Structure formats: C-alpha cells, structure tokens
C-alpha cells in the first residue's frame, strides 16, 4: 500500500528526514513513535502533500503510484487521509458545508455521484452518533472555538466519512482526555479493515493501548532507528527515547 | 488641486474652460424631464449653472486622484436608448417582497412592476410621476441633501434626472417585507436615476435595489435618505452592472434622533464603479452602518468614498467592507469620520479587509478622522492579504480542488458581512449572487 524509500526532506533549508524507509501493507496498522523534533509531523505532512516541504531524495509509492507527484487533492481522492495534529479553523465555513464539499469532491474524483442533502445527512448522522457528536457541531464554523477534543473528534468524523485507504494519524492523542481518547480510538478501530492501512504517529504509548498496532517504528534523527512488534511501544514507554540520541 | 480661487478666476471670465471633463457635453446631450414644480426647476437650474462653472472633476482634485476619469470620455452622454426588453432579473420571490419597480435605462416599466401589496401609509412611486402629480410631497425633501454637497456627479444627476423612485413612509408605519427595485441597463446610453426615501417618525422599511445590465452605459444615480426620529431603514444595493458599464452613485442620508440606517452594498459589477456616501447623524443617538461586500476581477475598479458626520451626542457609525480582488482589479477606499464639537460620546469605527487572489490586484485605503470633541471613541483598521495557506492545504487534503477551496474560503470570508444582514430573504439573495460569482471564477479556471 505505502512504500517509502530513502526519503530525504528539507524544510526551509534544514534537512529533517534523512533517509527514511518504511513499508505499510494493506490491512496493517503501523505506529511511528519518536521524540519531539524527530520528524514525525514532517513525515505526515509530506505524505499529505503540504507545500513547503522539499523532497530532496527518495521515493514514496502509494498503491504503486508516485505519491509525491500528486497534488494534495489528488491524494485525498486516491484515498489518502491525514488526521491533523492541529486541525485548522475555517471561519465562515460551516462544518456541514465543509464535509459535504469534501465528500462530494472525493466522490466526483472517484467517478461517483454527488450525495444530495438528504443522503449526506443520513451518512453524517450515523457517524456523528458513534463519535458522540451532535448535529449542532455541523452548523458552527469548522473548528472555530472548538476544544482540542472536539477538533480531534471532528477529524475522526471526516475520516469516517471519507473512508480512506491510507489513514495517517498525526498525534491524534494530543490534547485528549482519557474519555475522548477512547472515543477516538474506538472510531479508528471501527475503520480497521483488510483493505485499509493506517499510520499512527505518536509521541506516547498510551494511544497504542487502545489502537493496537501490528508494527512499531522508532523515528529519531530523521530515520527509522528500530522496528518491532507492539511490545516495542511498551519498551519505549519504560525506557524513553534516550538510547536514540534524544531526551524523551 | 485647482483651488476655488482658480475656479473663481475662470468663472470671472479669464478662462471659462473647466479644469476637468466638460459637463457641457452631458448637459447638451442629456434629456431631463420637463415640467415639475418651480422649486425643482430652480434647484435644477442651480445645479446646471454650478456644473458649467465648476466642471466635472479632474484627476488632481482631492478624492479623484485614483479614478481613471479618461474612461468617462468613452461613454455615451445622453439619450436614453430605446428601452429594449432586458430580462428583469429578480433577487426576491414575489411573496418575499412588498412591491417591485423596474426601470430600464432609467425609465419606469410600469408593466414589470408589482405594487399590489403595499399597505396604507406607504407610497412607492415613480419620481417623475410624483413631481407632476403631487410635488408638495417632495418639497423640502428632494434635493435637500444633494443640492448643498459639492459632489459634481450628484449635481449632474440633479440637473439631468428624468426619473427614479420615491419611497415615502408615514409616521409609525412598519413595512415588514422589503421593496425591490430593479435598475436594468441596456446598450449605449446614459441615465441619472434619482432616489428619495423618506421615513416618518418611528417607521420601518427595507429596500433592495438591484443594478444590472448589459453593454457600455453610464448610470449616475443619487439616493437621498431622510430618516425622521426613531425611523429604521435597511438599504441594500446589489451593484451588478455590466462589466463595461460605468456606475456612479452618491448616497446621502440624514438621520434624526434615534434613527438607524443599515446599509449594505454588494459591489460586483461595472468597469468603473464609484460609490460615495455622505451621512449626517444629526439627532442624538442616531446610528448608521455602512457595510460593503465586494468582489472584482479583470480590470474592474471599485471606489468607496464616505464621509460620516457625527453632529449630535451618542451617535454611532460602523463601516465594515470586506472583499476579494482577482486579476488586475483595484479597490479604493476613502473613509472619513468627522465628529463635531457637540457630539459627545460619539462612536465610530471603520474596518476594511481585502483578500487578494492574484498578485496583480491592488487596494488603496485611506481612512481619515476629524475629531473636534474630547469624549469620543473612533477606530479604523485595514488589512490586506492572501488566502491562508494552511486553510487551503487543509481543504485540499480533504480532496477539495484548489479553485473550489479558494471559493469556499472566500465565501466564508464574505459571509461574515452577509450574515449581519437583518432580513433573511435579502441575505439569501446576496449569498446566491456571491455563490454565482465564485462559480463563474471556478468555471473560468482562473
């Protein structure tokens, strides 16, 4: 599904990723753990296509295609989804307008018909319920004045609606209390499917008690330093990132 | 700037050529309506004389430095081209409005109007009709504000106006639904529509004016708004003229104690559009809101020039203009708030925010405060910027293509003004027109 090979990325002239390689197969959930400043967010933004990230070497293939050659909206249409660490506020754009525009844009790119207002509402309602969100949320400007937890749940709502094939979750646990964390984790687990790959990027192990990964990778100093099974996360929790050249 | 002394010399016979564009061309080709009361004839004569002496503005006149006046020379000056059947587009459904009047090339189209549902105490009529039939109702009102202001094109309007409308509301009468007025232009012609809205004590009314058309015409309008104590007027103008048209408008308002004017202009059309405001907050507690939403592209130029005078205590003014510029479009703002010495506790604010969608669009903003009273609160602010990159990326990462993402953000930005429009039907009409503008942009792929 996702094959990253020897990826070098600079931001503003500084090299952040220095030869990162990683493969995620369909149906798998991989965790990328690492200390602050190790390049976790850079990895997630590069995968989503954010401008300002210079790929100086390496390749990223998604379903066999050159992901880096695709515009952000093309990636989304092809099934890539990034759950943002800091979801962006859109003043004047209601949640409903945003969701419907996004959903229909992706459907259009996939050659599917637009959902009308009723179909859309039906699709959203089901998912709102499972995330303990109210329809009132959709009437408000997207993410404006939302608490950290509301913003993250909103990301999960978008993910559930857009049904991506590759979901990248960037620090989705940050800013969540334990109840919200469980809700979000339940949402993610519900989306686990044989055809879907997930990359869970996190600093802490606690999210991984709820979203149990198939593989765990340690990202430090711009590269994957070590990979292992889910027990690696527990080990990191106990010992910190010191051995990888970083304070935890 | 040619001083008044220079002009005086010219008038004294040294040089009779006015410094700017010659008004003579307009005056000789225009077709003002004959007849009407003597006082009106006198006012018009006065305006004509003043124009002959002072001429139309030149680019070195204060307030006209940014205006491509040379463009004026290309326009037809007089003659109302035969009224052709332009579709009279309507922004409101029949059941949403109290009445409708339609003008084509400045002339009333009685058949297109709809006046059946007007309640007692409300007069909505063609101005030309009224000044023939009931001139007494206009005396002391028509020309009251515009005659004294030194706005040359307003003088031209007074001199040449052939028609327009009057909305007169009796004391205490509340008109719940808006009145819709359509000014449609077609072909090469010039006209000078005149508007008089006079609200009696504690009365309420809302007006939606829609200016549309096709071709290269000149529409030079003047609106006089007279609000008695406690009156409230919602005045919305959708300026959606043809891209080659020249749209000039002067809105002049006088508010008595406790009166309130809520005005919003949606500026989309015209090759050159200039919107002037002169607002006198004459009575204690009078309040005005002059809002604007603009969206310009190509080589369009839009100008908003306002002077708000706080003449009484506790008067309030607020101006919010938000808009987008694409292509080589330009927007000019000049906003002056003047607080007189007796206007204690006056509060005035001005804010304009412009989103630039291209590197070649430009905005010029010149706020001015003239405060002759200690106890006031006045503020102004201007901001210019591009769309937020993070917001664009967020939308694109959800599959929304760039142009559509821009449209969504622009719409959200403009809606911050539209959502303050009190009447839902009017707000919906504005939203629909903005959405159409954005869809055209998306469709062009620019």
Which of B323, B394, B418 has the highest number of chain A CBs within 10 A, making it the mutation to test binding with A? B394
Q: A100 in contact with B at a CB cutoff of 8 Å? A: no
Spatial distance between the Cα atoms of B334 and B277, rounded to a whole number of angstroms: 10
Spatial distance between the Cα atoms of B156 and B191, rounded to a whole number of angstroms: 10
Adjacent-strand bridge partners of A94: A141
Which residues of chain A are within 8 Å of residue B394 when distances are taken between CB atoms? 84, 87-88, 90
Q: A72 in contact with B at a CB cutoff of 8 Å? A: yes
* pLDDT at site A18: 94
Which residues of chain A are within 8 Å of residue B395 when distances are taken between CB atoms? 90, 98, 101-102
Confidence of residue B83 (pLDDT cuts 50, 70, 90): low
CB contact (8 A) between residue A105 and residue B409? no
8 Å CB contact between A206 and A31:
no
Interhelix angle A148-162/A117-130, rounded to 10 degrees, is 130
Spatial distance between the Cα atoms of B308 and B288, rounded to a whole number of angstroms: 9
- The C-alpha of A47 sits at a distance from chain B's nearest C-alpha, in angstroms, of 10
- The C-alpha of A87 sits at a distance from chain B's nearest C-alpha, in angstroms, of 8
Which residues of chain B are within 8 Å of residue A76 when distances are taken between CB atoms? 396-399
| Cross-chain CB nearest to A93 (options B397, B402, B408) | B408
Q: A48 in contact with B at a CB cutoff of 8 Å? A: yes
CB contact (8 A) between residue A162 and residue B396? no
Tokens of A212: 């149990």
- The C-alpha of B396 sits at a distance from chain A's nearest C-alpha, in angstroms, of 5
| Cross-chain CB nearest to A105 (options B393, B404, B415) | B404
CB contact (8 A) between residue A93 and residue B409? yes
HSE-up of residue B112 (Cα within 13 Å, Cβ side)? 21
Q: A70 in contact with B at a CB cutoff of 8 Å? A: no
Spatial distance between the Cα atoms of A32 and A4, rounded to a whole number of angstroms: 13
8 Å CB contact between B178 and B92:
yes
Tell me how many degrees the CA angle B106-B139-B338 measures, rounded to the nearest 5. 85
Short-list B104, B102, B126, B103, CA closest to B114: B102
The torsion angles phi and psi of B389, rounded to 5 degrees, stand at -60, -40
8 Å CB contact between A200 and A211:
yes
User: Domains of chain B: which residue ranges?
Assistant: 4-387, 388-446
8 Å CB contact between A105 and B401:
yes
Q: A101 in contact with B at a CB cutoff of 8 Å? A: yes
Q: DSSP characters for B333-345?
A: EEEEEEE-TT-TT
Q: Give residues with Cβ within 8 angstroms of B438, minimum separation 6.
A: B295, B407, B410, B411
Strand, coil or helix: A96:
helix
Q: Per-residue pLDDT tens, chain A, 248 aa: give them.
A: 999 999 999 999 999 999 999 999 999 999 999 888 889 999 999 999 999 999 999 999 999 999 999 999 999 999 999 999 999 999 889 999 999 999 999 999 889 999 888 899 998 998 898 888 888 889 999 999 998 888 988 999 999 999 999 999 998 888 788 888 888 888 889 899 999 999 999 888 888 888 899 999 999 999 999 999 988 888 888 888 877 765 44
Which residues of chain B are within 8 Å of residue A158 when distances are taken between CB atoms? 398
Spatial distance between the Cα atoms of B313 and B311, rounded to a whole number of angstroms: 7
Prediction pTM value: 0.86
* pLDDT at site B181: 95
CA dihedral B90, B91, B92, B97 (to 10 degrees): -80
Adjacent-strand bridge partners of B335: B306, B367
8 Å CB contact between B333 and B364:
yes
3-state helix, strand, coil in chain B (%, to 5): 25, 35, 40
- Kindly report the length of chain A: 248
- Kindly report the length of chain B: 446
8 Å CB contact between B98 and B178:
yes
Spatial distance between the Cα atoms of A186 and A21, rounded to a whole number of angstroms: 29
Residue of A nearest to B413 (CA): A92
Which residues of chain A are within 8 Å of residue B413 when distances are taken between CB atoms? 91-92
Task: Report the DSSP pairing between strands A29-33 and A215-220.
Answer: parallel
CA dihedral B124, B127, B128, B132 (to 10 degrees): 80
More confident residue, A201 or B71: A201
Spatial distance between the Cα atoms of B374 and B83, rounded to a whole number of angstroms: 55
Task: Report the DSSP pairing between strands A14-24 and A2-11.
Answer: antiparallel
- The C-alpha of A231 sits at a distance from chain B's nearest C-alpha, in angstroms, of 33
CB contact (8 A) between residue A101 and residue B404? yes
Is ipTM strictly over 0.90?
A: yes
Q: A47 in contact with B at a CB cutoff of 8 Å? A: no
pLDDT tens for each residue of B41-70: 898 888 888 888 888 888 878 778 888 877
| Cross-chain CB nearest to B415 (options A92, A106, A109) | A92
């Amino acid at each position: 599904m996702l094959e990253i090979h020897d990826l070098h990325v600079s931001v503003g002239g500084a090299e952040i990723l220095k030869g990162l390689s990683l493969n995620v197969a369909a149906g798998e959930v991989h965790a990328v753990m690492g200390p602050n400043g190790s390049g976790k967010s850079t990895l997630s933004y590069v995968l989503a296509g954010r401008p300002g990230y210079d790929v100086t070497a390496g390749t990223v293939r998604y379903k066999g295609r050159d992901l880096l050659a695709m515009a952000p909206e093309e990636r989304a249409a092809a099934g890539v989804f990034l759950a943002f660490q800091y979801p962006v506020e859109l003043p004047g754009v209601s949640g409903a307008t945003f969701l419907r525009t996004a959903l229909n844009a992706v459907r259009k790119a996939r050659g599917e018909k637009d959902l009308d207002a009723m179909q859309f509402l039906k699709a959203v309602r089901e998912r709102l319920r499972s995330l303990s969100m109210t329809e009132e949320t959709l009437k408000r400007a997207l993410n404006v004045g939302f608490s950290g937890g509301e913003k993250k749940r909103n990301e999960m709502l978008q993910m559930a609606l857009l049904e991506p094939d590759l979901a990248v979750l960037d620090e989705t646990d940050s800013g969540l209390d334990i109840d919200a964390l469980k809700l979000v984790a339940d949402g993610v687990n519900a989306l686990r499917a044989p055809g879907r790959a997930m990359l869970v990027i996190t600093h802490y192990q606690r999210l991984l008690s709820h979203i149990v990964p198939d593989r765990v990778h340690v990202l430090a100093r711009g590269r994957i330093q070590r990979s292992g099974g889910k027990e690696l996360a527990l080990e990191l929790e106990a010992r910190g990132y010191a051995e990888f050249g970083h304070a935890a | 700037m040619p001083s008044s002394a220079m002009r005086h010399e010219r008038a004294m016979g040294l040089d009779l050529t006015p410094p700017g564009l010659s008004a003579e061309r307009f005056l000789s080709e225009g077709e003002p309506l004959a007849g009407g009361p003597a006082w009106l004839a006198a006012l018009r004569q006065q305006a004509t004389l003043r124009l002959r002496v002072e001429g139309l503005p030149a680019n070195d006149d204060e307030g006209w430095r940014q205006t491509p006046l040379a463009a004026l020379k290309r326009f037809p000056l007089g003659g109302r081209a035969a009224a052709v059947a332009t579709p009279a587009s309507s922004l409101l459904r029949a059941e949403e409005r109290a009445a409708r009047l339609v003008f084509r090339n400045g002339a009333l189209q009685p058949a297109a109007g709809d006046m059946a549902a007007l309640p007692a105490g409300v007069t909505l009529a063609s101005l030309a009709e009224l000044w023939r039939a009931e001139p007494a109702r206009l005396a002391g009102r028509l020309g009251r504000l515009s005659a004294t202001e030194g706005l040359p094109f307003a003088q031209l309007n007074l001199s040449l106006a052939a028609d327009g409308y009057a909305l007169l509301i009796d004391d205490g009468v509340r008109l719940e639904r808006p009145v819709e007025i359509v000014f449609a232009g077609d072909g090469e012609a010039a006209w000078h529509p005149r508007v008089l809205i006079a609200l009696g004590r504690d009365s309420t009314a809302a007006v939606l004016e829609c200016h549309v058309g096709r071709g290269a015409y000149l529409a030079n309008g003047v609106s006089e708004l007279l609000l008695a104590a406690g009156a409230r007027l919602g005045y919305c103008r959708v300026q959606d003229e043809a891209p080659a048209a020249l749209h000039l408008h002067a809105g002049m308002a006088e508010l008595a104690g406790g009166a309130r004017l809520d005005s919003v202009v949606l500026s989309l059309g015209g090759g050159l559009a200039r919107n002037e405001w002169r607002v006198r907050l004459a009575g204690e507690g009078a309040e005005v809101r002059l809002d604007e939403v603009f969206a310009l592209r190509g080589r369009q130029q839009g100008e908003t020039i306002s002077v708000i005078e706080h003449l009484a205590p506790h008067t309030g003014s607020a101006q919010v203009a938000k808009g987008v510029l694409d292509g080589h479009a330009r927007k000019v703002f000049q906003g002056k708030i003047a607080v007189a010495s007796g206007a204690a506790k006056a509060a005035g604010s001005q804010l304009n925010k412009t989103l630039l969608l291209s590197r070649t669009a430009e905005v010029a903003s010149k706020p001015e405060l003239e405060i002759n009273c200690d106890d006031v609160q006045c503020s102004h602010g201007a901001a210019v910027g591009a769309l937020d990159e993070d917001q664009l990326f967020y939308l694109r990462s959800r599959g929304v293509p760039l142009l559509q993402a821009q449209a969504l953000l622009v719409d959200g930005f403009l809606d911050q003004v539209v959502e303050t429009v009190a009447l839902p039907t009017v707000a919906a009409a504005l939203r629909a027109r903005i959405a159409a503008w954005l869809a055209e942009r998306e469709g062009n792929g620019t």
